[in-house]
Structure 1
Amino acid sequence: MDMNAEQMQEIIDLYVIPWGINIVMALLIFIIGRIVVNVLVGLFGKVMSKSKWDDMLIDFVKSIISAILMLFVIVASLDQLGVDTTSLVAILGAAGLAIGLSLQGSLQNFAAGVMLLVFRPFKAGDFVETAGVMGTVKSISIFTTIMTTPDNKEIIVPNGKIYGDNIINYSAKDTRRVDMVIGIAYDADLLKAKNILNEMVEADERILKDPAPKVAVSELADSSVNFVVRPWVKSEDYWGVKFDFTEAVKLRFDQEGIGIPFPQMDVHLHKADSE
């Protein structure tokens, strides 16, 4: 009986107490480490918010940082328990490499999404042309950008294609220049037509005075004398001015007797002498 008690005491001294201490220390490392990680991630989030980063990007970066820091905490806790963390880290590294190779396309879209959210070449609500499509940006996520076309079709574009292509942001500036080409017949009164165009430009309140609009003869084409009409407008008035002005020019020229020609071809027939 005494031998059994001695054996039990020896087991407690050699195994139970050291393992109990290690378990308690591992739990303390995990709990304290988790608290420290939450504090650091929270501080990082506040710093990023002051930098006016996108909320989606802030949340995503916070989750990545939190996961990385918690991985260190878990490794430290397991090391306290005597687990061979060197092999564990090697396994995690190999698994990460394999996952990265299998998800190359997704990682490219992810990297492009981060760049779009950081540098902000466009934002939700902007009308842009990129990756072969044109539309209003509805939302920007980490992997894709959702756009709505003028005829109300929804397009989901991978961020990698957007960041690797030219981006034309039609909403980036407050003003835009409307470029219109208007042709008149060769026998029409050129100066009269030019004065009419200048009057119409002056009469439209949506057309800005500064920069000054431009009306000029640009080309003596095959079937017409072409004017360029280039007024500056607010970006939101672009299509309204373009459509309204084009219609108004046709109606006004009809009233003034100024012809707007269409392509023509003169065919000359030559009668061959008979034998």
Structure 2
Amino acid sequence: MDVLDSSMSWFEKNQEVLLQYAVNIAAALVVLVVGFIVAKIVASSIEKVLDKRNVDHTISQFVASIVRYALIAFVIIAALSRVGVQTASFVAIVGAAGLAIGLALQGSLANFAAGVLIISFRPFKAGDFVEVSGTSGVVKSVQIFTTILTTGDNKEVIIPNGSILGGNIVNYSANDTRRIDLIVGVGYGADLAKTKQVLRDVCEADSRVLKNPDITVGVHALADSSVNFVVRPWVRSSDYWGTYFDLNENIKNALDEAGIEIPFPQMGVHLSKD
């Protein structure tokens, strides 16, 4: 009986403290439950918003996961603080760990951030022919950390997104039409008006050359051994290389038929007797 009376006496004396602890524990549980639900809702909402903006689904899932776990960490810290646990040192440890991880993964994080920006602002997309980081090729896919190109000789090149965003991006497929720039050299004895007409006729005879914008043919430079003409027809982007190669061949044949000389480097050797 003495032990029971002693226990009852202890509970009566500490009733207020125990009640306070019970309230704090209940509040911490409520914070945890509500916080977990809110974290899930916020993460899901962010994922849906990114998907509606046509952001790559892998990226939207990754961002949503980061936001969710960050909110959960905050909720846990808040719950521990509610029950009287000193969280200052815990926050410092988490912050130090986050800093260490960030420094260790700074290259990967930079590539991830660049991947998000590439997908968001779309300087290019899958199927475009681009030149990035000194490499030209067709974009096969844009992933979280890298972009994959397929070169003209069918090599697969994997380029970190950070290096792409940090340099110049040339997208040859961005517009429907492109201009072909050719330099054609003829001899100084050639009739310039006749040469100009021959070059224009060759371009106009090719059905892939567009009528608008007009073809530009003109004297570009008076070089050391030739008069250089610039020939600039416009074509559809998909016809660029086929037209480029064919025009070079057709121009050579047309100038030969017209008797117009195409000069080439020559070296004269003079022998003398001592």
TM over 0.5: yes
For the residues of structure 2 that align with 1:130 and 1:160, how far apart are their CA atoms?
11
1:227 to 229, 245, 252: 229
Please list, as runs of the form range in 1=range in 2, the aligned pairs for 1:54-133 lying within 5 A after superposition. Answer: 54-133=56-135
Aligned letter for 1:122?
F
Q: Does 1:191 align with 2:202?
A: no
Q: Secondary structure at the match of 1:215?
A: strand
1:146 corresponds to which residue?
148
Runs of 4+ in 1 over 6 A off after TM superposition: 11-21
Aligned letter for 1:157?
I
Aligned letter for 1:114?
V
1:166 corresponds to which residue?
168
For structure 1, the residue ranges without an aligned partner over 5 or more in a row are none
TM superposition shift of 1:239: 0.7
Q: From the superposition, tell whether residues 4 and 42 of structure 1 become closer, same or farther in structure 2 (CA, over 3 Å).
A: same
TM superposition shift of 1:156: 1.4
For the residues of structure 1 that align with 2:227 and 2:77, how far apart are their CA atoms?
79
Structure 1 contact 177–232 (Cα < 8 Å) conserved: yes
Report the aligned-residue RMSD.
2.9
2:240 corresponds to which residue?
238
TM-score, normalised to structure 1, is 0.84
Q: Secondary structure at the match of 1:227?
A: strand
Structure 2 contact 202–254 (Cα < 8 Å) conserved: no
1:44 corresponds to which residue?
46
For the residues of structure 2 that align with 1:269 and 1:112, how far apart are their CA atoms?
65
2:251 corresponds to which residue?
249
**CA offsets 1:23-44 (integer angstroms, 9 cap, x no match):** 5544443232222222222233
Q: From the superposition, tell whether residues 60 and 135 of structure 1 become closer, same or farther in structure 2 (CA, over 3 Å).
A: same
Q: Secondary structure at the match of 1:197?
A: helix
TM superposition shift of 1:271: 5.6
**CA offsets 1:205-258 (integer angstroms, 9 cap, x no match):** 211122111011212323322221101111111111101111222233333333
1:204 to 203, 206, 212: 206
Please list, as runs of the form range in 1=range in 2, the aligned pairs for 1:8-47 lying within 5 A after superposition. Answer: 25-47=27-49
For structure 2, the residue ranges without an aligned partner over 5 or more in a row are none
For the residues of structure 2 that align with 1:5 and 1:149, how far apart are their CA atoms?
88
1:260 corresponds to which residue?
262
